[in-house]
């Protein structure tokens, strides 16, 4: 049975060129970048070359990029580091949204429960977007941090970050944006966004798992998350993972070449998918992803149980048995039968949210994949 992977928002297949780029740094050039001998110097060169290239691609200076092991670590560093720097300052208010990634929401809940920070969670619109005006109206004289994702990892909804940050120019408020899902599907320029922190992760752009980056704007005060070394400009202790960093650089090189073509291709397949679903299910299907201000590769759908027959709890399993890999929400909350918190927040009841699907298209998908997915879905979710 041919298997079809349509869960690229969870992770992407590591590109073969990326794999080949990493191999020498596991075996031949294995030195520690902090060592002064020739083995260390070779590692140091690829470390700084990678930092320079990745920074340039995302519109940043290399001195503002530090490497971490995941988007989750980067998000934790930005939020906890800023919060701990503000302990005892008289400022204790954070603004975020109720549809953030779990690495943000769980971190905020930790700060609330253990350190008595106050957090305002902005509710999303029908498609998961956050209203900039509501964010700005929530600012108080005790607000020191705003944390909002650039695009939602489940619905693909893009929030207008720049319209918020431009209004904060004269306020002493840090802004953190999780851009993990947006990288490679949306033009990102960290300086132009006027944010203090952004997060990107290699495995979302056909790079390896276990390596990510955190952008920290000049003069942004933050505590270290990991202590024990002077690596990464004394901001993140620990020996740098040179093979994965080399792979990260190669993934960004490929992105620089392919991104415009990728986006156009995603849009083409997304249109084929949405048109096919609408044609077959008519108003029995509920689109949780908008056609505007949305990533080009994500389609999130729910089903009207009054018009369609299906088993919410078996939907993903039945598709997997037919060789189709999709998800019901974020990969970080998978493995349970709990409904997506994002879909609950945009207005779905528990059963509708539980029976929803996120289809996320990647560079390696084809029109045939989309057709086969729809054919499989028709055998599982049937019109009454």
**CATH number, domain containing residue 250:** 3.40.640.10
Same structural domain for residues 70 and 198? yes
Place of tokens 């990969």: 331
Same structural domain for residues 188 and 239? yes
Task: Give the end of a domain, one of 208, 237, 254.
Answer: 254
Read off the tokens for 368.
Answer: 């045939």
Q: Residue 336's pLDDT is what?
A: 57
Distance of CA 244 to the CA centre of its chain: 18
What domain range is 53 assigned to?
16-254
Same structural domain for residues 236 and 302? no
Task: Give the end of a domain, one of 201, 235, 254.
Answer: 254
What's the rounded mean pLDDT across residues 271-277? Answer: 97
Q: At residue 122, what are phi and psi to the nearest 5 degrees?
A: -75, 135
Same structural domain for residues 183 and 324? no
Residue 365 Cα distances to 123, 269, 358, 360, angstroms? 34, 9, 15, 10
Instruction: Look up residue 151 and give its DSSP letter.
Output: B
Same structural domain for residues 101 and 148? yes
Residue 26 β-bridge partners? none
Of the residues 136, 272, 286, 332, which is catalytic? 332
This prediction has a pTM of: 0.94
When pLDDT is cut at 50, 70 and 90, the band that residue 179 belongs to is: very high
CA distance 214 to 33: 19
Same structural domain for residues 119 and 211? yes
Same structural domain for residues 108 and 93? yes
Q: Please indicate whether residue 294 is annotated as part of the active site.
A: no
Same structural domain for residues 209 and 308? no
Same structural domain for residues 247 and 275? no
Same structural domain for residues 263 and 250? no
Same structural domain for residues 172 and 52? yes
CA distance 362 to 9: 8
Q: Is there a contact between 239 and 35 (Cβ–Cβ < 8 Å)?
A: no
Q: Is there a contact between 190 and 170 (Cβ–Cβ < 8 Å)?
A: no
When pLDDT is cut at 50, 70 and 90, the band that residue 328 belongs to is: confident
Instruction: Look up residue 279 and give its DSSP letter.
Output: H
Q: Which residues contact 64 (CB under 8 A, 6 or more apart)?
A: 55, 190, 215, 216, 217, 218
pLDDT digits (tens, 9 = 90+) for 209-221: 999 999 999 999 8
When pLDDT is cut at 50, 70 and 90, the band that residue 337 belongs to is: low
CA distance 151 to 40: 38
Q: Kindly report the CATH number assigned to the domain that includes residue 366.
A: 3.90.1150.10
Number of domains forming the structure of the chain: 2
CA distance 279 to 162: 37
Task: Give the end of a domain, one of 254, 276, 306.
Answer: 254
Number of other residues whose CB lies within 10 A of the CB of residue 280: 15
Q: Residue 329's pLDDT is what?
A: 62
Q: Which residues contact 212 (CB under 8 A, 6 or more apart)?
A: 67, 68, 69, 70, 71, 73, 74, 180, 199, 200, 201, 202
């Amino acid at each position: 049975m041919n298997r079809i992977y349509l869960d690229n928002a969870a992770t992407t297949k590591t590109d073969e060129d990326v794999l080949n780029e990493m191999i020498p740094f596991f075996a031949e050039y294995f030195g520690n970048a902090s060592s002064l001998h020739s083995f260390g110097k070779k590692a140091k060169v690829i470390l700084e070359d990678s930092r320079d290239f990745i920074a340039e691609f995302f519109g940043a200076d290399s001195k503002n990029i530090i490497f971490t092991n995941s988007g989750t670590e980067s998000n934790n560093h930005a939020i906890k580091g800023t919060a701990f720097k503000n302990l005892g300052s008289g400022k204790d208010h954070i603004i975020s949204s109720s549809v953030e990634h779990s690495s943000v929401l769980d971190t905020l809940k930790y700060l609330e429960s253990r350190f008595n920070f106050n957090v305002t969670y902005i509710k999303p619109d029908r498609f998961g977007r956050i209203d900039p005006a509501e964010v700005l109206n929530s600012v108080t004289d005790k607000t020191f941090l705003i944390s909002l994702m650039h695009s939602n990892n489940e619905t693909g909804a893009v929030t207008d970050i720049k319209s918020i940050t431009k209004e904060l120019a004269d306020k002493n408020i840090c802004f953190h944006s999780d851009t993990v899902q947006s990288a490679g599907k949306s033009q990102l320029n960290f300086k132009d966004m006027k944010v203090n922190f952004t997060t990107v992760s290699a495995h979302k752009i056909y790079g390896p798992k276990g390596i990510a980056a955190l952008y920290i704007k000049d003069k942004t005060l933050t505590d270290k998350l990991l202590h024990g070394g002077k690596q990464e400009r004394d901001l993140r202790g620990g020996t740098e993972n040179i093979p994965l960093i080399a792979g990260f650089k190669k993934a960004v090189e490929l992105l620089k070449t392919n991104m415009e073509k990728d986006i156009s291709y995603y849009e083409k397949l997304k249109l084929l998918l949405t048109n096919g679903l609408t044609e077959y299910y008519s108003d029995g299907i509920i689109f949780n992803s908008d056609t505007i201000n949305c990533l080009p590769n994500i389609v999130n759908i729910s089903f009207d149980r009054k018009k369609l027959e299906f088993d919410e709890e078996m939907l993903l399993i039945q598709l997997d048995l037919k060789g189709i890999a999709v998800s019901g929400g974020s990969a970080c909350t998978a493995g349970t039968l709990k409904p997506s918190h994002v879909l609950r927040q945009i207005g779905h009841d528990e059963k509708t949210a539980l029976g929803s699907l996120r289809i996320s298209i990647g560079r390696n998908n084809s029109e045939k994949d989309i057709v086969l997915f729809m054919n499989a879905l028709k055998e599982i979710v049937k019109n009454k």
